[in-house]
Each structure stands twice: as C-alpha cells, then as structure tokens.
A and B are shown apart, each in its own frame.
Chain A
C-alpha cells in the first residue's frame, strides 16, 4: 500500500473501547473500511465457507461462489479431493467459469480458450508455438507459472472452506474445539443438499453477523418465536464464543416447560407475546427429536461467511457475502440427512417456511438491519451502545445478553488493526 493511500494516511474509524461495546457507525458504510476488510479479513488469516460437500459430490462437479467479493470456483477433483481457485484467467483476466453450477473435466476461458484442469493448472494455450512460421508465445513462457490463482481448501464435517492465506492455521484449529463440537452436533452423519434460496439486503454484512450473535432481539422482534414458544427469554440457553479470537459463536435455546416462560412477556406487555394469535395448521411447529439436546434454535456463525442453523427440524448453512459497503447477500443452503425418512424430509421442507427470504421468523432480520443502515447514515463517528449483560461476562446461560456481539467486535478490531489505533488514541 503506498503512502498516499487514505487508509495508510489516517484510520478510517477508531473503536473508542477495546471491549467491543462501542462501535462507530462508519464501519457500516465507509468504503475505506470495506476495502480494508477485503484485504485483512477475506484475503487475510480466515477460512471462508464456500459449499457443502454434498453440493459437489462427483468428480468435475463445480460451484461458482465468492470469498468476500472475489469470484472463486470450488470443484471436486478426479481423485475425489477438493480444489478452489480464483475465477480469473491468467491471460487477460476474464472470468473462466461462467456457470453457477455444473460438471466439467476442465475449464476453458471463452475469450482465447486458455484451458485449465480442475486443480487450476494451465494445460492448453491455442497457438502456443504459433503456426506455419508465425510466432506463438515466447519460448520462455512457462505454463506451470501461469495457472489460476489456487486457494488453500479444506473441509470440516462436510463443510468446504477456502483461504487466500498461507499463514492461517489449519481449518480445524481455526474453528477450534468448542465450535467444532457444535458443528459435529449438526453434521454428525452424511447430509443431502436440498437447494438454496437467496436474499439480498440493502445493509452492511456485519449487521447480519450482529443479528445472529444477538439472542436479545430474537424474542422481541419475532412474534412468531415468542407466541409459539420456539424461542423465549427464560428458556434454557447456551451462548458461547470460540474462546479464542471470539469471532465465532453459538446461540442455543433449549426446550422446556411452556408456562414458566410466558409470564415474563405478559407482565411487561411485550408486543411479540400475543396470546390471541393461533395457527390453524400447527404441523409447521413440530419438533421431532434428533439430537441429544432438544434445542429449538442452534445459530452458529463461523466467521466470516457461514452461519449454521437448526431451527426445529429445518437445517441450513447460510452463506453471507458482502456486496459493497451497504449490501450483502445471504444464500440459504437447505439440507437434510441422507437417511431421512419421508416424514422427516416433508417436515424439513414445511419448516423452510420459518426461515429464508419469506421466513415467518427470519424475514424481519433484513428489515431490522436495513433500518440500522438507514438510521446511521451521515453520523459515522457516533457509536452503538452494546452493554446488555456487560456486568456478567461469564454468564452463558442467558438469552438476555450482548456478550457475543462485544466479543465479535473486539476480534474484528484486532483483525482489522483498528484496536491498536484505538489504544494509541486513549
């Protein structure tokens, strides 16, 4: 980065507190922050979720996706392994793979038909040696040095991740033992991919991460949760981070007797507890036990691009993609288990009504993040106030807490190199 770069010249934001409890609103809209995130997060020491292994089962199966806003392709190789590469021809920069999904033995750029194998090695250049005395590429041109930009790729329990970084620790260590245990809870047997739905939001990607680390909002914003006892404050809760960098987290709400959680909402006259609201068809609220712990909600962001979700019997890997400072895309990858019976599979599809772009529960989340995006316009130096349960940092059995959000912002500040700036200023 040259000395005249605005990023090098002055910190685009300063976090006034090291504990992540005060977040300058500029992080949600400043283009300089967005550029820095692409470099230090998405091309930095992180692993980004790309696909379920169940999406690309056969050799040659591929999927086009992104790490941050860089287009990448992930593919199953001939020997059943995985490869991922930046989707940009080594010749003149065109996107090589133009399909969102498919199967191919090799990938050729349409512009000049440079051809790459599944690993991203350059295997063909038309007229490499010229023809009939007309010159081709110079003799010193080295195909091996002109492949696609390859990425480190690894899989954890059927979830495929990739990274630009040579330094980041192995994937299992990046996820860590605590978060790994909760991934294993969901991915304890082979899964089957059931399709995806996509939601585009006019708000910053980190507002969505705040949302999935926020057990406090869930029973207040979402009437459906509260009224039907899917998720209430007072439920048995488990809210934890990875215990390391603090960027991953888990919220679990665990089913218990209904009557004892209702009174807190009735007494405070909370809008979302409407006892007069009833469903005619309650089959959507079934909860068939499948795990040791009967959780109604398991919401687990693995920074930066994945949120694992189990709500009742609907299972989703949500991929979070930034699309500029004030837009993000969410791709809900629905899945079941290979050994689901017909009744379970039917329930999973029915409970898709709860989540996704038209979800009874989740449709309000993008509404809320967009309200923040619009609300914080112009006042980038002002901050949010994230103090709920700040006096009880070790309390993990409550849903009335913002500790996971604070942990996230503290980790984000370190990764972005903004925490040192904050300390220097203090």
Chain B
C-alpha cells in the first residue's frame, strides 16, 4: 500500500474510532449496533481470562440483534446508577489491511463521573477490532474489548 493509501486508511480508521466513542459518550446507544455487521462478535472479557485462553466474558454478543437487545434492555429493563462515561483512545495500530478488511488495535480508558460529581477511571484495556466494508461504509465485524481493570466497580451497564 502506498504512503498516501496508508495515511488515508489511517484517517478512515481514526474517524471510525471517533464515531464509535462519540456514539457511546453522547448516549446515542441506538446507533451503536449499526456500527457492526449483522453477523458480528462483540465481547468484553477480562485480560486475565484472555491471557489464559479462557472464554468467560462479561458481555458476549454474536449478532447485531443481540447488540440491539442489550440497548433495549438498558433502556427499559435494567436498573443502574446514572453516570457519565467518557472514552479516551490511544496508540492505534493497524496490524493488517486490505481493501475489504482491516485489523487494528488500540488502548482505551473510560472515565466515569458519578451523580455526586466525582470522576474516576472506570476501566482501561485494549480494543482488538476487525473492520470490514459493508453497505458502503466500514463496520466492525469483531470487536473484542479486553480489559485490565479486573475489578468492575458495582456493575458494567453501558457498552465499552
């Protein structure tokens, strides 16, 4: 791939990442599943399990329908403390790319601000993404969220 091509791809991936973060940080959860292909994998799993090759996740969705179900449940069923979550990403690494598929990794941090008004690091970890062209745009075919912060404070409601 040419230098210009690499830079263009990097910009596209950064834009995708920014759209993803912005979707979660502005509580536009109904848009979140649309950033995935229909036959997708979205998983949040502690690093301690990923490192040992063990499968136990905290969230594991293997279809876009399951992602929409998660949003409907958050909106209408589950009870959790309202809080503001902000995502920060860094170190985007494009591990493999062709015209149809990109594999990338990045670090993330999520800061939680409680109703009382204090902010704390809720979670840090790595995104392992596989992105494909689908319906005229890039979407996530697979997003594995591998978190370092093994002790989840109270509960994890909003996707990472």
Contact = CB atoms under 8 A, between A and B. Distances in A.
Interface string A177-202: 00000000000000001111111111
Range class of the B interface residue count: 35 or more
A392 interface: no
B56 interface: yes
A60 to B, nearest CB: 16
B78 A364 contact: yes
B79 A196 contact: no
Contacts of B2: none
A350 B156 contact: no
Given A281-B63, A353-B61, A200 B151 contact: yes
A227 interface: yes
B76 A274 contact: yes
Interface string B46-69: 101100101111111111011011
A8 interface: no
Contacts of A329: 151
Contact of B79 (A202, A280, A367): A367
B69 A281 contact: yes
B54 A367 contact: no
Interface residues of A, number: 40
Interface stretch (A41-49, A108-116, A354-362, A402-410): A354-362
B156 A357 contact: yes
A365 B127 CA distance: 28
A280 B68 contact: yes
Interface in A276-297: 277, 279-281, 284
A199 B154 contact: yes
B26 interface: no
A349 interface: yes
A196 B56 contact: yes
A352 interface: yes
Contact of A100 (B48, B80, B157): B48
Contact of A352 (B58, B69, B155): B58
Interface string B104-138: 00000000000000000000000000000000000
A231 interface: no
A370 interface: yes
A277 B76 contact: yes
Contacts of B76: 223, 274, 277
Given A223-B76, A227-B77, A357 B63 contact: no
A358 B151 CA distance: 12
B48 A349 contact: no
A281 B79 CA distance: 21
B22 interface: no
Contacts of A277: 72, 76-77
A7 interface: no
B90 interface: no
Contacts of A100: 48
Contacts of A363: 78, 80, 155-157
A376 interface: no
B11 interface: no
A360 B65 CA distance: 15
A231 to B, nearest CB: 14
B57 A352 contact: yes
Contacts of B73: 224, 360
A104 interface: no
Nearest to A334: B56
A265 to B, nearest CB: 14
A221 interface: yes
Contact of A199 (B65, B68, B81, B151): B151
Contact of B66 (A193, A198, A274, A281): A281
A204 interface: no
Contact of B78 (A194, A195, A352, A360): A360
A358 B154 contact: no
Interface of B: 44-46, 48-49, 52, 54-63, 65-66, 68-69, 72-73, 76-81, 150-157
Per CB-CB distance, the 10 closest pairs between chain A and chain B, nearest first, are A195-B56, A195-B54, A195-B49, A280-B65, A357-B152, A223-B77, A281-B65, A334-B56, A358-B156, A363-B155
Interface of A: 100-101, 193-202, 221, 223-224, 227, 274, 277, 279-281, 284, 329, 332, 334, 345, 349-350, 352-353, 356-360, 363-364, 366-367, 370
14 contacts: A100-B48, A101-B52, A194-B55, A195-B48, A197-B58, A200-B154, A277-B76, A280-B66, A284-B66, A357-B152, A357-B155, A363-B156, A364-B78, A364-B80
